[in-house]
Structure 1
Amino acid sequence: MKLSLGPLQYYWPRLTTFDFYEAMAQTAVDRVYLGEVTCSRRNELRLSDWLDIAALLRDAGKDVVLSTMVLLESGSDVSAMRKITAQTDFEVEANDMGAVQNLVNQRPFVAGPHLNIYNAPTLQWMASLGAHRWVAPLEMPRSDLALMQQARPDGLQTEVFAHGRLPLAFSARCFTARHGNLPKDDCQFRCMEHPDGLLLKTRESADFLVLNGIQTQSARMHSLIDAWNELLALGVDSVRISPQAQHTADVIALYDSVRRGALSGEQARDALLPLLPGGEDCNGYWHGQPGMQRITPAPALAA
């Protein structure tokens, strides 16, 4: 099973972003997704910059995929998406149906996690349009994924979001700007002040959600590091790790340790928790429960 590094969801300074991917080139990750997927106002890096990073990672032996934005709100957003789908040097992850339309009958593509692929007919239709890999919806439980795997067309790979804050929703409004009493069109790029998003608490001071511009995320870090054997049994081809501001390389190393059998899932999770923003994880969706819950996997039966 391969390790994928998902697209950067946050807004980091230009040099920080370049330094981050130079470090990622030295990790055990097999595939890296690149590009701005959250907000078109985040313009520290242009497409030419992302292509430079893509070339660096490819030279380091990584498979590289360019991801399109999830929510297109303007003509310039559509134009940026078309430039990504028009280039032929790197594979493309389509995160909205406009991107899919631009890739149909052109070349194989990755069907991103926000395309709402929840049943077998939709999965088969997406494969007929040219998808050769799909990323399961973030809230899909393992029981539903098992059914999807049974109906999966030949040659279609499955990727599962296994680590990171879950991107739960997107809105035309910018919540980070609103928090600073700023209009969206004059946000002063406040997202850059929150490299792992802006934590939102309940009135009882419990961690609830994370605001990331127009995106709403889970407060807890979703992790399936101790479900590795379940993922293998389901025939999953790759798992996705989402970048975080600190310790991403260490997180990748722990998942790789489980992959190589150097650590058990339980041992890796114990080592993972101190590396997480907030120090807590969740896996409720995987078990068909509320996503913020943490469910302890049942122990494996002795042979």
Structure 2
Amino acid sequence: MTRIIQELAEISDRYDVLFCDLWGCVHDGVQAMPAAVAALQAFRAKGGAVVLLTNAPRPKPSVARQIARLGVPEDAWDDIVTSGDAAQHGLVTGAVGRKIWHIGPSKDLTFFSEMSPDLPKADIALVPQAEAEGIVCTDLFENLTEQPEDYRGRLMLAREAGLPMLCANPDLMVDYGDKRVWCAGALAKLYEEIGGTALYFGKPHPPIYDLARRRLAARGIEVVEDRILCLGDGIGTDVAGAAGEGLDGLFVTGGLAAADFGPDPEHPDPQSLNTWLAARGAAPQWSIGRVR
């Protein structure tokens, strides 16, 4: 049974490192959440390290610029590790070929242009679907107006051509302000349902956690597994990823599933929460309404 806490400070002495989700926990796509920012700053002030572990399909520099615009200051984190960072390794090592059909908006083109300096060089060409050897999906082209079903026809053609898909963001959906929008993970799920092959690198899959550990080690930060806490509002990504890695989890109930736990997102109903978690086979050590 999960224990509901009111503030991160109640348990922060148990941990040296936070793997903290971004969207839905630290910002809502429109602006930073001040209480969450203050909680991360306080954790770092007492000597802890914060890795913003996000399923954003763009590489770290792009996400750093984005969260700065949203009001997340640099003193709230030590490093950023993205699904895009982890997926880039799959791309340059040829997981889906060299001629790529990109599904996603132009803002995600940094996935192809801002490569980590520790990655091998690769000759990647963005081509139309008919010329492609594989697919990189970072998002829907227009996620504010489109649905995954709008892509069924194109994905069926891709399946018939045998194109593997690299999914750079396993999230199914996020809340953009007060609007819920679909993500790349929803297209990858549909592609698999119709018989296509999808490869994943973000949460809950191991590559993004491995990269986070390597980044900490490169900073000289010792990583003790039972001193890492994973925070997030995604039951199938953040909570499942923590469990898969053998790490403690803090489920943020006031995010994607807030409506299932009573009328007050800040204070989830314990009975509703535990029933909901049990139905999904999830058992995070801790839960909190919002990061604060």
Q: Shorter-chain-normalised TM-score: which range?
A: 0.3 to 0.5
- How high is the TM-score relative to the length of structure 1? 0.32
Q: How high is the TM-score relative to the length of structure 2?
A: 0.33
Larger RCO (alpha carbons 8 Å, 6+ apart): 2
